[in-house]
Amino acid sequence: MKKISVIVPCYNEQESLQLLYQELCRLMKAESKYEWEILFVNDGSKDDTLQVIQSLSAQDASVSYIDLSRNYGKETAMLAGFDYAQGDACVIMDADLQHPPMVVRDMLRKWEEGYDDVYGKRTTRAKESWLRKCLSYAFYYILQKSAKVDVLPNVGDFRLLDRKCIDALRQMRETDRYTKGLYCLIGFRKTYVEFETQDRVSGSSSWTLRGLISLAIEGIMSFTIAPLRLATWVGAITATGAFLYALYFLIKTLVVGDPVHGFPTLVILILFFGGAQLLALGVLGEYVGRIFHESKHRPNYFVQTYYSAKK
């Protein structure tokens, strides 16, 4: 019998889990020709999420869990899920029921047809501010124009991955993770199923605008060196401009013999080049910072407990 693991990263989800579990039970009943494993990854929740998970796993042998030593963020929690999942295919889904479990049935059909990576494509973005929509649009635009891999917009982490993909993803141990890009990077046969995003059943999204912006920067910085290239171009153009301008002044002074005119020009130039240099340094710094993080080769996460009824 083929085994399917459902990986659910959870951070402060005590209210949603019971409901999610019920939905997953419906799914498992409908697809009883597979053996199922529900793998909860407790990402250092501060509420009673762990207790809820433990009571579920006490009732049901198909529920297993990983309790991480602290909050690492969803990207790392997913990696932990990939490492411990036992299935021939894995489904990743959010704990807040924004990803309707019944859609997994369509994903399974596609998987049986021979696809390795079946992703859920959102047909609507439920309740998001226009600012968030615009930023998200801009982000995908920049990423697609600059990175060599095609990162798909409106596609989240809700997907079914074959064992091949899981093994590929597990080999990428970078600390600054941008899993959405990694899915595209690994390739394999991909297809999609459409689904409508639901509103969270309870609580609020743990993403702040700041968090999203930093994830966006992460996405761009970890997939492309286009900003460095841009800094080089801006540098080259301004330097050429500056050189020509300097030449003009030199000639003018030699020919006309100019006294101390042009103070504003001087100030503007100093500020302009100062700014351009700082900007380029900042971009450079972002990459150096990433080299610093990766070069330490620290483990991605630590596990407090791992529990599985069937090993």
Binder of residue 182, out of ligand UDP, Mg ion, none (CB less than 5 to 8 A by kind): none
Residue numbers 97-136 binding ligand UDP by CB under 6 A: 98
CA 23 – CA 8 distance, rounded (Å):
13
Stretch that binds ligand UDP, among 88-96, 112-120, 238-246, 284-292 (CB under 6 A): 88-96
Give min distance, CB of 228 to ligand UDP, in A.
Answer: 29
Closer residue to Mg ion (CB): 59 or 204:
204
Residue 133: DSSP 8-state:
H
Give min distance, CB of 202 to Mg ion, in A.
Answer: 11
**Structure-token pair, residue 219:** 């996405």
**Structure-token pair, residue 112:** 């049986």
Give min distance, CB of 13 to ligand UDP, in A.
Answer: 5
Told to check if 18 binds ligand UDP by CB under 6 A, we report: no
Told to check if 43 binds Mg ion by CB under 5 A, we report: no
**Contacting residue, 38, 63, 77, 221, with ligand UDP by CB under 6 A:** 77
* Residue 266 burial (10 A CB sphere; 0-12, 13-18, 19+): exposed
Quick check: 6 and 48 in contact, CB under 8 A?
Answer: no
Told to check if 74 binds ligand UDP by CB under 6 A, we report: yes
Q: Name every residue whose Cβ is closer than 8 Å to that of residue 113 and which is 6 or more positions away in sequence.
A: none
CA 84 – CA 10 distance, rounded (Å):
15
Quick check: 4 and 91 in contact, CB under 8 A?
Answer: yes
**Contacting residue, 98, 179, 197, 224, with Mg ion by CB under 5 A:** 98
